[in-house]
Amino acid sequence: TGAWSGVRILDFDNVPSLGDDVTITGTVEENFDFTRITGVQTYINNGPSTVPSWTELGTFALNDEQYEGVLVRTSGECTAGWNNFEEWFISDGSGDIMINDEMYQFEPTVGTNYQVTGPLNYAFSAFKIEPRDMDDVSVVSSVDELSTLDFSVFPNPVSDFLTVNHDENESVFLQLFDSNGRVVLNERLDTGASNIDIRSLAAGNYTLLLTTAEKATAKKLEIIK
C-alpha cells in the first residue's frame, strides 16, 4: 500500500483472479502520461494471497501521479453528477476527485456523501478512481455528521519539526495544504506523537487536515523561517 505501490498491467492473454499473487515480466511504458506494463513476456500465477489494503486519502490528494495504479479509498460529497462520459465527482472540502465507470457504473445523487474504493487511473489529463464493483461505492454520513478527530499540534508557528499527537486506534492520514489548495505533504500517522519534518516547505499559511474513515478535523498552521 501507499505511494508508488501499484501499476496497471495491459495483458489480453492471462486472467488472474482477485487476490492472486502473480509474477510477470514486461515492458514499462508511458501511455499519454499514464504508467503501465505491456508486452507481458512471462506470467507466473503463484496462487491466492492476501489482498493488499487500500490507501486512504482525502479527495484532492489523490490527484497525484504517485497513486497511479494504487488501490485507494476516499470519502466525500458528490459535487457533480454524470457528465457525458458517466464520470462524476466527490469532494471532502479539499478539492474534487473524479469517479469513472471503466469497470463499474454507478449513478450518484448530487449532495450525497459516498465512500469510494478502487485503483487510481489517469486518462485525458485527469486522475480517476475506478470502482471495481458495487461493494466499492457506499453511502456514508454527511460531512456535518462526521465525528471530530481530536489531535494537537505544536509548535505553531513552526520552522523545522512539527509534532502531531492523537489517540485514534486506526489509521490516521495527515494532509497539509498550502494557500493555493495544493497538497504539499501526505503522511500516515501512528497512534501517539509523530514528528513531521517540514524544513523543505516555504514560509506561509497552511491548512492541516487529519482524517480517518469516520472522523476529520482541520487546523491552521503557520510555517516561519
- Give the number of other Cβ atoms within 10 Å of residue 32's Cβ: 8
| Distance, CA of 130 to CA of 101 (rounded, Å) | 6
Q: How confident is the model at residue 16 (pLDDT cuts 50, 70, 90)?
A: very high
Which amino acid belongs to residue 148?
T
Out of 176-180, 212-216, 221-225, least confident range: 212-216
Angstrom distances, CA of residue 43 to CA of 20, 39, 138, 163, 178:
12, 11, 34, 46, 44
Q: What is the distance in angstroms between the CA of the first residue and the CA of the last residue of the chain?
A: 34
Q: What does the block give as the cell for 78?
A: 458528490
Q: Which amino acid is at 93?
A: G
Q: What band does 213 get if pLDDT is binned at 50, 70 and 90? A: low
What was the pLDDT predicted at 216? 75
Q: How would residue 110 be classed by pLDDT, with cut points 50, 70 and 90? A: very high
Domain architecture of the chain: domains with CATH: 1-142 (2.40.50.140), 147-223 (2.60.40.3080)
pLDDT for 79 beyond 90:
yes
75 in Cβ contact with 113 (< 8 Å):
yes
Q: Among 138, 135, 121, which residue's Cα sits nearest to residue 87? A: 121
Residue from 72, 62, 65 nearest 1 by CA = 72
Mean pLDDT of the chain: 88
Summarize pLDDT for 170-182 with one digit per residue, the tens: 778 888 888 766 7
User: If you search the block for the grid coordinates 494532509, which residue do you land on?
Assistant: 175
